[in-house]
Structure formats: structure tokens, C-alpha cells
Amino acid sequence: MYNLSRVLILISAFSLLVGLKTLLAQEQDKELAKEYALQAELTLAETKAEDDARDQMVLAANLDTTFVKANFEAGRLYMATVGKELAVKYFLRVYRQDPDYRFDLEFWIGWSYHLGLQFDKAITYYTLYKNKLAKKGNYQGKDKFEMKEVDRRILECNNGKEFVASPKPFSIVNLGREINSEFEDYAPVLNASEDEIIFTTRRRDGNTYENVADDNKPYEDIFTSSKNGTSWQRAKNIGPSINTRFFDSNLAFSPDGNMLFIYKDEGLGDIFFSERQKDGSWSAVEALPGVINSSYRESSVSITKDGECLFFASERPGGLGGSDIYVCTKDSRGEWSKVKNLGPTINTEYDEDGPYIDYDGKTLYFSSMGRKGMGGFDIFKSNLINKDKNEWSEPENMGYPINTPDNDVFISGTKSGDKWYYSSVREDGLGYSDIYMITPSKEEPKTPPVAAKEPEPVKPEPVVETPKETPPVVVNTPPVEVKPEPKSEPKPEPKQPEKPVMIPIKYVVKIIDAESKNPLEAKVRMQGLKDKVMVGAVEQGGGVVEFTITSNTAKEYRLSVEQEGYVFQNLTVKVPAASMKENNITKTVEMRKLVVGVVSILRNIYFDIDKATFKTESYSELNKLETMMKQNTNLQVEIGGHTDSFGDNMSNKLLSERRANAVKSFLTSKGIDTRRIKTVGYGESKPLASNDDELEGRQFNRRVEFKVLSN
């Protein structure tokens, strides 16, 4: 009894000591969290470096999840920069602890879900906020969104559900690292032959000015690239005649490639131009003459092929909303003098921007925050009906995946009419916004041959010869009643064989927890592996997502599944072609929790041969790895590099180390704490298959893995 009591006392003392250490560690974390939050506030007070402030505030929020202010600010800063869908995690922490922390808290939660394409959840929280606002209509605090804006967001969510369920058949392909960088790249414009591209970037390499702006990023510079055959050369600075030490941004390229339009912050924002000289250099930049520039902001421009009409966006008074689209034409002296608002068919009470007039002079692309959009700016298309009357067709939304719930603006077309270029923040991006090429899907709906009966030939009527006239013969006979001959009905035209109807494939994905087998809500996307064409998706609830596949050929798709607390998956699945027979396919995806010891192969990270530089197609996988690390802030991993057996053992080990470190460098450049990542180069020591065969062996052995060390 004495011994047992002594043991219990020792256990109690040990437990007390452990508890005291834990308490001290928690207090230390709370103090450290306050320091990081203060540093973030100072960063914002002294600069506009929101990315830096966000990373500091996220550290504070994760060190102390009960620190309500830090968690709200972490979410708000995510919403102001990139990774907007990550904000909801921090807003929900606040909501669970103090739902009255801000009057508009439910709106912020809904907005983050909205930007993450989780429309039903967004509508739920928008509605909660709407009900609160209806009860307290007289509330006048600064933390308030008006009812009109809430209704607009709910409308956008419903539009988004419709667009995502029926995506447009567009292939959207990243132009690659020759054009894009880890910084913002945007506003692409091309010449008529599509062998020269000019765009704006905030990259460090090649920038005119070595210093950074007050947001701690390089200043905007205009870069250019030309094609060598079918490949773009590495982009370079366009030169000092156009770029200055501060902000310089291009707007448009004349179809002949000899005039470049530029935006400058003068006069609240004006349009300038530069002309190409005979030696290929560019002239000094001049303000656009005439009545186009005003004392208000002019933000974008596009010129017709004949150079007679110029479309631009302006915030000048007299419009229908904040920013409207106008057209200006030349007078008899060749000067820009006649400005006309494009009217209510194009402009709304919301902002319109980014006009692009196609080579036909009749098709106008532009961005609007109004109309049937899914959030932010959406890109629309309208056709000119009557130039003299300024009549345009009802604008058509370009649809998902060109448009997203975030801002989609500044699209430009090509002379061929079958390509467009624009910038967007997408899952396979190299950094922030990247430049993409959009092409329609090449798939044409094919119908199998149907044996149809040939219509029977129509027999000609017999020809009756008229007898020659003879003298009439009078015969005394009683009169005979002559009955009229019945009219012949026209023969019906032979029916044309009906075209067979192709029935889309219903591809149902069920997400479950690998251990409990319980349904799991997750973010699920599906797109063509090669053509990047998105597949229509409808969330059924309970971890079930239904995809509608209409492809007339069998093809491979990339199925991606992500959920906080689990290992993300990028799966390659092969689906047969749609046919006249109903075909429903069900696939169950088991998700593994991020527990210590779990290993996952990053199959879709590709390197140049014998190098540690990523290929463009690697960034989708890398970005998902980054998201997983940011969602699970306690996660520590080992990144392991592996090679096949070609080459000597020491060279393979060094190469595998360099590749593992390349993944680590990518993650740390995105704000992941370097202490959370350990790298190991295993070389050829841990093959998954025989190295005797390329496809079945060596290809599998060249890989990068991550292993969970703690969480």
C-alpha cells in the first residue's frame, strides 16, 4: 500500500511537471503570437507589403488559435492577396469562439467559400449574414456589407454552380517558364502573326530598377518574347525607351505590331503610346492625343485593325457606373475626336474594363462586374449589330473555366480567331498570376454510321398519247353521268434518318476516409490530362461528386482530391468515350490522414534530364503540396529524392539531393518555414521496380516523395 501510494505521488508529480511545461510552452506561444501580430501591423503601417504581413499574421494565428484578432486578420490578408480559399479556416476559428466579433463575419466566411468554388457553403453563410442584416437594418458600423451586395453574391454563387456544372470546352494552357515567373505576369498582347508577345511583369530578373516598391515587390516592367519556330524564347526587358525605374504597364498592341499602348499613373491614370522604329527599337513614350485621356482614370484600350476606332475604359463622369467602356473615332483630319459611351447593352451600374476588339472589327470582348457573372470581373463577348446606331448584341459570359469567382480581365485575341491569351491565378501557375493560352477543344461530336434505307424511286406516270381528231359521230344514247376523278394526294417526302443521341457518361466519385470508411467532404476536380479541358461537376453531398463526360473519344483525365488533414491525391483515370448507351461509372477514393510515417509519392513532379529544374507541368503538384503545408500548419515532412540506376551511385545521390532541395526551395519561397522541411537524397538505393525497363521500372524509380515526420 505504501509503495502504491508512493508510485501514485510520483506519477502525480510527473503529470504536474509535464502540465506545467505544457502551460509554459502555451504561454510562450501566446507571447510569440503577439510579437508576430505586432510585426504584421507595423509592416502594414509602414508599407503596403500585404504578402509579408500575411505570412507574419498567419504565424501569429497558428501559434495561438485563440488569438481572435490575429486569426481574423490572417483571413483578411489571405483575401487581399493569394490563396483566398485558405482564409475560411481562420474566419471559422473566430466564428466558433466569438460569432459576434464582427457584424459582417458571416459575410467574410461566405466570401472565402465563394472564391474557393464551394458555392453551397458560401450561400449558407451569406444567408446567415443576410438574415442578421434584415433584423438590424439600421446598423451603421463600418463592418457592414449592404443588402444589395449580399444579394449580388448569392446570385453569383448560383451562376457559379451553373457554370461549373457545364464548363465551356476550352483548353487553358500555361505558356511556361520562358514567359511566366514566380511573380505576377499579366496583360499579354500579341501581333497579328502571333510570333511576338508583350506583357507586364513584376519579376526580379531583368527588372529595370533593383529596388522594390512599397509592397516589397519589384516595380512593374514591360517584357517581350518572340518565337523560335513553335517555342517561345525566354522573355526579356523591352528596353529603357519604354520602361522607367518605376511602374510601367502595357495595354494593347496594334494589329500591325508597330504601336504599343501603355498605362501610366499620370492624371489618375492615362493612356500613352510608343511606335516601333525602322531599326526595331521603340520611340519615347507619349500621351495619346485628343479627347481620350481625361482628368479621370483611363485604364485599358484596344484599336481596330484599320486604326479608325479605339475602344477604352474610363471613369469619367456621365457613365452608367464607376468604369464604363467607350469608343472613339477619328475625324476627317485623322484626329481622335468623337467619344461615345457604348450604352446600357455593354455598360452596367457596376465596373466594366479590359475591352478588346477582334480583328473583324465587330466582336468585342470585355470584363464586367455586373451581368450574369460568378464573382469579381468576368469576361464577356458581344457582337456589333449596327455601327451607326451603336447597337450591340446581348453580352455572353465566356463561362467556366475561363471565368472564376475572382477577377478575370484583360483578354486578347488573335488574327486566326481560334486562340486567346489572358492572365489568371490557377492551380498550375508558377507563382501569382501567369499568362495562359486559351483554345477551343478540338473534339467534334461524332455520330456512328447508321444504316438507312434509300427512298424508293418514284415511278414515272405512263404517257398517254392524244388520238388524232376525227369527225364526231352522233349516236342516240341516253346521257351518261360523268363522275370526277379523285384527286391524288401528294406523296410524303422520305424521312431522313435521325442522328443518334450521344449519352454523356456519369462519372461518380465517392470520397471516404481510408480508415473509418466514412464519407468525406473534399475539393474534387477533373480535367483532361493533356488538353486541360475541365469536366462539369455537381456536388451531391455526403462526399459524392458527379462529373458529366461528353467526350466522343476515350481519354485520360486528371482527378484531384484535396482536404485539410489528409494527403492530397492527383490520380490519372481513363474513361471510355460517350456513346448511345447509358454508362455510369463509380470510383471510390480513399483519403489517408496526415499521421506520422505516412509516405506519398509526388508522381507529377518532372525535372529536366539530369537537372534539378522543374518542368512547367510540375507546378500543379507543387502548388497542391504548398496548399497542404499551409492548411496543416503543424505538419513537418521529409522530402526524399530518388533516381534510377543509370549513372554512378555518387552522381545519382547528389542529383536526388538537388531535386529534393529544389522542392524545399519552392515551398520556402511560398512562405513555408524552412524548419518544417527536411531533405534527403536517396539516389538509386530505394527502387520501387526493376531498372531493366524504362516504362515499367526506371520511370517509376525517378521520383520525389514526402514523408510525414510530425503533425
* Residue at which a domain ends, from 559, 591, 623: 591
User: Residue 661's domain is classified under what CATH number?
Assistant: 3.30.1330.60
Cell of 318: 456621365
CB atoms closer than 10 angstroms to residue 584: 9
Q: Are both 394 and 335 inside the same structural domain?
A: yes
**Phi-psi domain of 678 (left: phi exceeds 0; alpha: psi -120 through 50; beta: other):** beta
Q: Are both 512 and 586 inside the same structural domain?
A: yes
Say how far residue 228 (Cα) sits from the centre of its chain.
Answer: 28
Cell of 600: 506519398
Cell of 174: 500555361
C-alpha span between 403 and 381 (Å, rounded): 12
> Residue 494: its pLDDT value, please?
67
In a domain, 7, yes or no: no
Residue 18's pLDDT band (boundaries 50, 70, 90)? very low
- Winning range, highest mean pLDDT, from 328-342, 438-452, 682-696: 328-342
Instruction: Identify the H or E element spanning 469.
Output: none
> Residue 490: its pLDDT value, please?
63
Residues 6+ away with beta carbon under 8 Å from 429? 174, 180, 619, 623
Residues 6+ away with beta carbon under 8 Å from 670? 626, 630
In a domain, 567, yes or no: yes
Instruction: Identify the H or E element spanning 269.
Output: none
C-alpha span between 692 and 711 (Å, rounded): 38
Do β-strands 584-591 and 505-513 pair in parallel, antiparallel, or remain unpaired? parallel
In a domain, 492, yes or no: no
Q: 697 near 644, Cβ under 8 Å? A: yes
Q: Are both 376 and 350 inside the same structural domain?
A: yes
> Residue 126: its pLDDT value, please?
98
Per-residue pLDDT of 331-345, as tens digits, reads 989 899 899 999 999
Q: What's phi and psi for 707, nearest 5 deg?
A: -125, 135
Lowest mean pLDDT among 83-92, 268-277, 490-499: 490-499
Closest CA to 376 of 346, 397, 345, 355: 397
User: Residue 544's domain is classified under what CATH number?
Assistant: 2.60.40.10
Instruction: Identify the H or E element spanning 249.
Output: strand 249-253
How is residue 128 annotated by DSSP?
Answer: H
Q: 689 near 696, Cβ under 8 Å? A: yes
C-alpha span between 606 and 625 (Å, rounded): 14
Per-residue pLDDT of 379-419, as tens digits, reads 999 999 999 899 999 999 999 999 999 999 999 999 988 89
Residue recorded with cell 485563440: 66
User: Residue 361's domain is classified under what CATH number?
Assistant: 2.120.10.30
Residues 6+ away with beta carbon under 8 Å from 273? 259, 260, 261, 262, 285, 286, 288
Structural domain harbouring 71: 28-165
Cell of 139: 446598423
Q: Are both 250 and 399 inside the same structural domain?
A: yes
In a domain, 245, yes or no: yes
> Residue 466: its pLDDT value, please?
43
> Residue 508: its pLDDT value, please?
97
Q: Are both 586 and 639 inside the same structural domain?
A: no
* Residue at which a domain ends, from 557, 573, 591: 591
Q: What's phi and psi for 153, nearest 5 deg?
A: -65, -40
Instruction: Identify the H or E element spanning 59.
Output: helix 50-63
Q: Let me know the angle formed at the C-alpha of 422 by 238 and 122, rounded to the nearest 5 degrees.
A: 135
Lowest mean pLDDT among 483-497, 582-596, 644-658: 483-497
Q: 605 near 622, Cβ under 8 Å? A: yes
Instruction: Identify the H or E element spanning 337.
Output: strand 336-341
Per-residue pLDDT of 555-595, as tens digits, reads 999 999 999 999 999 999 999 999 989 999 999 999 999 99
C-alpha span between 283 and 241 (Å, rounded): 6
> Residue 461: its pLDDT value, please?
45
- The structural domain count of the chain equals 4
Q: Are both 142 and 193 inside the same structural domain?
A: no
Do β-strands 523-528 and 703-710 pair in parallel, antiparallel, or remain unpaired? unpaired
Q: Are both 290 and 228 inside the same structural domain?
A: yes
Per-residue pLDDT of 501-541, as tens digits, reads 789 999 999 999 999 999 999 999 999 998 889 999 999 99
In a domain, 494, yes or no: no
Contacts 24+ apart (CB under 8 A), 445-448: 445/502, 445/552, 446/552, 447/499, 447/500, 447/502, 448/500, 448/579, 448/580
Residue 10's pLDDT band (boundaries 50, 70, 90)? very low
> Residue 267: its pLDDT value, please?
81
Residue recorded with cell 497542404: 628
Q: Are both 324 and 428 inside the same structural domain?
A: yes
Residue 112 vs residues 89, 123, 642: alpha-carbon distances, Å: 9, 11, 38
Q: Are both 566 and 616 inside the same structural domain?
A: no
Residue recorded with cell 458581344: 382
Lowest mean pLDDT among 258-267, 268-277, 466-475: 466-475
> Residue 692: its pLDDT value, please?
57
* Residue at which a domain ends, from 165, 190, 220: 165
In a domain, 598, yes or no: yes
Per-residue pLDDT of 76-99, as tens digits, reads 999 999 889 999 999 999 999 999
> Residue 613: its pLDDT value, please?
83
Cell of 224: 517581350
SS3 482: coil
Residue 616's pLDDT band (boundaries 50, 70, 90)? confident
Do β-strands 309-314 and 185-190 pair in parallel, antiparallel, or remain unpaired? unpaired
Q: 372 near 156, Cβ under 8 Å? A: no
> Residue 487: its pLDDT value, please?
57
Q: Are both 663 and 566 inside the same structural domain?
A: no
Q: Give yes or no for residue 473 having a pLDDT over 50.
A: no
Per-residue pLDDT of 183-221, as tens digits, reads 999 999 999 999 999 999 999 999 999 999 999 999 999
Cell of 113: 467559400
Per-residue pLDDT of 281-317, as tens digits, reads 999 999 998 899 999 999 999 999 999 999 999 999 9
Q: What is the pLDDT of the chain when averaged over all its residues?
A: 87
Q: Are both 542 and 631 inside the same structural domain?
A: no
Q: Let me know the angle formed at the C-alpha of 442 by 166 and 404, rounded to the nearest 5 degrees.
A: 35
Q: Give yes or no for residue 457 having a pLDDT over 50.
A: no
Q: Give yes or no for residue 30 having a pLDDT over 70.
A: yes
Q: Give yes or no for residue 472 having a pLDDT over 60.
A: no
Provide, for the chain, the percentages of residues in helix, strand and coil under a 3-state DSSP scheme, each rounded to the nearest 5. Answer: 25, 30, 45
Q: Are both 276 and 325 inside the same structural domain?
A: yes
Q: Is the model more confident about 496 or about 207?
A: 207
Contacts 24+ apart (CB under 8 A), 664-670: 664/639, 666/614, 666/622, 666/626, 667/625, 667/626, 667/629, 669/182, 670/626, 670/630
> Residue 610: its pLDDT value, please?
75
In a domain, 291, yes or no: yes
In a domain, 417, yes or no: yes
Residue recorded with cell 463600418: 142
Rg (Cα) of the chain, in Å, rounded? 33
